[in-house]
Amino acid sequence: MIDQPPARFGACAAAALAGLLGLGAPPAAGAPAKAPAQNGPAISSRGDLEAAIRQAVGKWCARPGSLSVAVRSLTAGETLFSHHPRVKRIPASNQKLATTAAALARLGPDYTFPTDVYAGGPVRGGVLEGNLYLKGYGDPFLVQERVRELAHELRLLGVRRVKGDLIADDTYFDSVRYGPGWHAEGSLRPYQAPHGALSFNFNVVWLLIDPGKEGGPARVQLEVPAPTIRVEGSVATGPPGGRPQVRLARRRVEGRDRIRVGGTIPANSRRLSYPVTISEPALYAAGAFALFLKEAGVALGGEVRRGATPKEAELLARTLSRPLGELVRDVNKVSSNFMAEQILKTLGAEELGLPGTAEKGLRVVHDFLAAVGVPADAFELADGSGLSRGNRFTAEGLVALLEGVHRDFRLRPEFEASLAVVGIDGTVRRKMQRTSSVRRARVKSGLLDRVQTLSGYAVADNGEVVAFAILSNENACNPNPLFHEIILPVTLLDRPLPPALALQSEAARRNLALPMPNPRQRDRWRAQGRARTGPVSPEAGEPAAAEAVVEGPPEPAATGLEMLEEKSAPGGERGAKP
């Protein structure tokens, strides 16, 4: 995590939080460990593609009976490859494909999440004669900059003092904080953060530790020192050159979180930052709001507590999230469990009434899947994120979902843009960078203990758009090279198409030949940490434009496609990270 506390939960907050947890999957027991070749032979027919994928399965899977694969050309409407396609398996974070697609369809890409501030009495002479209410409606991206703006908006409205209490209202959702089978009670891990209608900073607080003088105490503080959270204990400053050894624990006392710290930090250490989940989302959000009110010059006379907003309360201020069509990018590209569950409960509240529950949201997702042609016996839904091991999907069912969304222009742009681009961003940003598959596949990865999954779209050399799903359970395969050797042949497919599709195919082929930037070369100057300058034009007195850098021929020694999600969790389970 970049040590940049003031902006930690800004526009790139979800991506930064997920970067903390990005780890690859281990190879399956008994599977070979040799990396796959950079590029393969030309794939000029469906038979060539089938042979290439079957060879990959035989090479990298110790237990192929626990693997399911489905590959379908959406351009030709033809199944290109299948391997146990109708066996239901644990999808891990591929479950988010169903949640986000249903949300885009039922809520709309333009849907925004409000968070409101209400007055429980009149404002006279700058004094609010009553309680102040902070009410949440499930916003999955309510970060500190926006809550601070709400506080300053009250100041601009002339409020200087609140006589009553600050009430945290999270009644838009039920009180269930975790999905089934999460084993998350007491967990400090961000990928298991609780959900709630009024949530703040992904329900994670950052603990910052700076060394003091050797032998003395270190400085320990919260990035957002909300009054509803207390830090107990201390960290000692040890001699230079050692390794930090910090212990963290969290407990609830009278409904408030207490974070206990201990251990040592070397005297020459940089600042250490530790994310810790909180147990009471609404109180955390309201506590932060109270802090920002004080910062804005608005005094709070009462205490911070939970409650419901009365119907007669007057709206004072409102902040709206970015549109859902943008938020789903954070859900799928960096695999945010927290955001997926917030969206799921919002689906339930909007479609089936208050309070929003996971059960209501899953009913909406179920109905959506049926509407786009996914067979009823192809899935079982337990949560919105895929962290629960009770979810099931067939590879054929996931491909049917991908095909159904692809054929609906109203959903396709935002949905496909939400997927991680191989070699460019999200959970696969560093994968297959030296192959021709860069920018040619958009995927959703998934990882739980003994489960590795990958589904998405790819475009072939002949312009065909292909949907695929790969579900490996029981550590059936070495996932990294397997995924590599399935995606690469799909993108290398260059078979002739029927005359009715030939014109479309030729146009797509021409477009694929156009150059695209190589971000590793394009952004290399940023790593130097210096201002970018160029030669000055004598006539104009302005720096000359830099030449565009485009991708050249593939470089040797490519690595396999890895899946980046949380590596460990309580009880030996891996989580689909936030």
Six token digits for residue 117: 């501030």
CA distance 116 to 132: 11
- Taking residue 6's Cβ as centre, other Cβ atoms within 10 Å add up to 9
Six token digits for residue 553: 């021929």
Phi, psi of 463 (to 5 degrees): 95, -5
Query: For residue 168, what are the CA distances in angstroms to 17, 287, 335, 355?
Result: 25, 9, 28, 16
Residue with the two structure tokens 């329900």:
203
Residue pair 445/576 in contact (Cβ under 8 Å)? The answer is no
CA distance 58 to 344: 38
Residue pair 223/212 in contact (Cβ under 8 Å)? The answer is no
Longest dimension (CA), the chain: 80
Residue pair 99/140 in contact (Cβ under 8 Å)? The answer is no
93 is catalytic: yes
Six token digits for residue 142: 């309510």
Phi, psi of 74 (to 5 degrees): -80, -20
Please give the angle made by the CA atoms of 438, 443 and 448, to the nearest 5 degrees: 125
Six token digits for residue 407: 């054929």
| Pairing mode, strands 304-306 and 166-169 | parallel
CA distance 365 to 369: 6
Selected catalytic residue, list 88, 96, 135, 431? 96
Amino acid in position 165 = D
96 is catalytic: yes
Query: For residue 241, what are the CA distances in angstroms to 238, 245, 261, 363, 462?
Result: 9, 13, 21, 56, 57
Residue pair 518/72 in contact (Cβ under 8 Å)? The answer is no
Residue pair 263/272 in contact (Cβ under 8 Å)? The answer is no
CB contact set of 472 (below 8 Å; sequence gap of 6+): 28, 61, 66, 67, 451, 452, 453, 479, 482
Selected catalytic residue, list 68, 73, 187, 335? 335
CB contact set of 275 (below 8 Å; sequence gap of 6+): 1, 17, 20, 188, 190, 204, 205, 206, 207
Selected catalytic residue, list 66, 68, 73, 93? 93
Q: Which residues are catalytic?
A: 93, 96, 335
